[in-house]
Structure 1
Amino acid sequence: MIEKSLENRTAFITGASSGLGLRFAHVLAQSGARVALAARRTDRLETEVAAIRAAGGQAVAVTLDVADAETIGAAMDAAQEALGPLSILVNNAGVGGEGAALSMPLDRLDQTFDVNVRGVYIAAREAAGRMIDSGVAAQGDARIVNIASIAGSVQLPGLTAYCASKAAVVSMTKGMAREWARRLIAVNAIAPGYIETEINADWFATDQGRAQINGFPRRRLMGEDALDQALMLLAGPAARHITGSIITVDDGQSL
């Protein structure tokens, strides 16, 4: 039985329509949190919100494109109006940013940084302000969990822009943790390795993809449940004395 350690907490998850974001929403809801699922694909969000409610949870769908920075605050206001003061932000939305440095179109470079860096920065700032104003931070219950990547510390071939964007997430996590330490906002990040999702399933089914997996120390991909415990650690009561930490969960892939 899952412990309801997040009862009376409201969580806002970006990029929640599929993959890890969707997983995070269900894990937090099962732990008692009221969850706002934010993403561009609202049709998928409504289906998942219905599933969470059917299981006894509280959830709402919020339309959000984190690349449109002006809408982030309004989306959080809508979530708070429906569910109560925000106490957990999972900054999960991101894009791949594939492409060699010599040939990557500038618009794709801009998109990578608009979503992976600017969107994360502004969402964290908007969430922190609301946590302070509501008194959640002063109670010691404010949690910001940024989803970084091993790409923030390991140079992956053909992913220079993506690696740079995730290195920025690592840096801003530590900077915000220091800046908001006396506000009692815990700001941390999870740095995952390769996880099998619907986005990369086709690639890992190819000969090249299988060769990549065979190059990992354990010759396997992680499942979407691999980050559950790290998420609960950083989103829950145990993070009261954890801030500025980057937790790597990669099954040894970066060794």
Structure 2
Amino acid sequence: MNLEARLIHRPEFRKEDRFQFLQCAASGNPAPLINWTKDNMTLFNFTEIAETINKELTGSHDSQRSIIIKNEEIGLLNTIFFSKQKLASTWQTQSILKWESETPPIAEGNYSCFAKNLFFKPAVSHSVKVDLEYPPSIAPMHRRDQTFFPSTKLSISCAFKANPTATRTIWERYSAEKRSWVELKEPVNNIAIGYHTFQSTLTFSSQLKNPYGMYRCTPSSSKFPKSVHPINLTVHPPGKLIATRKQQLCFT
């Protein structure tokens, strides 16, 4: 008897040590296939799931079976368990999402699971929001090399993703004379520029004659006061950066 895929377990987010899991379950006959979306983007290929099932489970008479599908791009594993119900002609399917290593910031978002079998439309779950805690890490928009032009305001910025948001940012400049990093006292402005993303901007004093050199900014948060790494950046004079770009073009 064919039965429509029905979700019997709404998506649930749970933590265990350094790892986070998402799980969802469905029932039906034939056994439902479960897939996931993150921020409305499908995470796995239904065709690949079906082909893996045919390859791994064909000819098996076990009442409990499982397969693993991987999203290579973000290192996400989808373990799908199938179990035949003894008192009914139905299957139960459970899907558990897990990252291969510590859950990365990219995992944040809204997730939904949906189940379908061969004869019916997919059953879609309500979404669950994954909100992670992680130390500050470099944001994609950050530029390690920044350039001062004569007509521009003398300021440099670094951008981080962090949850909870950083509460303090220390800016330092490398002193060749002292052979060490020296903390700067110029004004610092920290602002939110996106979801769990913030930018720290250092504005130089108008009396600073030579702003070019190596800098680094180190953020900290109440949850991760010591587990962050500084971001190093270099400020170039306009002429030097242009010359560097020309030199790179010659070698490419």
Instruction: Provide the TM-score with structure 2 as the length reference.
Output: 0.26
Name which one, 1 or 2, has greater alpha-carbon Rg: 2
Greater share of strand residues, 1 or 2?
A: 2
Greater share of helix residues, 1 or 2?
A: 1
